[in-house]
Homo-oligomer: A and B are copies of this chain.
Amino acid sequence: MTIKWGILGCGHIALQFLRGIQPSNKGIAAACAARNFEKAKAFAKTHNIDRAYESYEALASTPEIDAIYVANTHNAHFETVKLCLNAGKHVLCEKPLTVNANQTKVLIELASKNNVLLMEAVWTRFLPAIRSLQSAIQEGLIGEVVTVKADFSLNRELPTTHRLRNPELAGGALLDLGIYPITIASIVFQNAPHSIYAQCVLDDETGVDQRGFYTIDFGQGKTALLTSGYTQAAPCEAVISGTKGHIIVPHFLGAKSYQVCVQGEAPQVIDLPFDEGHEFCAEIEHFHDCLENGLTQSPILPLNKTLEMMQTMDEIRRQWGLKYSEELEQATAVSH
């Protein structure tokens, strides 16, 4: 079985996907589409992709395509994924799956109705180092885990039109960067949050969250202290504290290793690297495996987990008073 992929959106992240698919003998990139047809054609030519389409609709309705990788900006994910699911395609969609939880619920229903595989492309969850970390924690390596701290911040001079700053693109640090600290907390603690306390600093010019802090109580004394922002320089790491030791995960979103410090023992580094440019291999392989096994949900990232993550981000935005335009927040399945 060769899975024929359509790539929707031909930007930087689509290129990453293409590099991720290359080592797989199960999938091939068979078509691509972009709102800018010239861009799609150039992308297809450069990467030896058979067909380029000038509309997402055309790509979605191509019978030869089995699955679509949704790689446009997340403000458009809801409508785009709906389109693909309604066309009966399996969908791997970049994170965040949608702008809010209500939209995610609609897509979950739609995927179920069409009996296709839908998965959010949160690459972190599929990485060998993270899978190993999760097992080690479950086996009690550092005792009972009580705290997760993580930060994913950037510090760049960005124009107000940049994706991260632009409210029309559902910008802000939370949906784009903050999803990673929340993900690592979710990977470690697994259960849904009990309560959340969130603070943020809004962008003077555009009104989205330029940086935010969220303390998530996972119950039974388990707490995550998380941060992200695009105007602060900070080490990108996760620190997981337990009753017997702690674990440090450098660049946790794309983890290649983790350091275990069990009390009374020498610190130990667990290396599970991957080649440069192959960041997405693990998630793509997993998607292929799910398809081969006839699954409509990933056992590693099931849709209720994606929904839980969106609900967490909804609650954080609610506390901040950060709402996007009605058009972006709407969640009706109009193109049903």
Contacts and interface: CB of A to CB of B under 8 A. Distances in A.
Contacts of A217: 199
B149 A233 contact: no
A58 B199 CA distance: 53
A147 interface: yes
Contacts of A199: 197, 215, 217, 223
Contacts of A211: 146-147, 221
Contact-residue size bin, chain A (C-beta under 8 Å from the other chain): 35 or more
A330 B241 CA distance: 36
Contacts of A225: 149, 213, 215, 225, 227
A206 B223 CA distance: 21
Interface in A134-151: 142-143, 146-147, 149, 151
Given A199-B215, A215-B215, A221-B201, A232 B239 contact: no
Given A235-B246, A243-B155, A243-B233, A149 B149 contact: yes
Nearest to A212: B223
A244 interface: yes
B147 A232 contact: yes
A171 interface: no
B233 A242 contact: yes
Nearest to A211: B146
A191 interface: no
A153 interface: yes
A248 B227 CA distance: 16
Nearest to A146: B232
Contacts of A155: 243-244, 263
9 cross-chain pairs, A with B, having the tightest CB-CB distances, nearest first: A201-B221, A234-B241, A232-B241, A233-B246, A233-B245, A146-B232, A225-B225, A234-B246, A197-B197
Interface of A: 142-143, 146-147, 149, 151, 153, 155, 197, 199, 201, 211, 213, 215, 217, 221, 223, 225, 227, 229, 231-235, 239, 241-246, 248, 261, 263
6 contacts: A142-B233, A146-B229, A153-B241, A155-B244, A201-B221, A235-B261
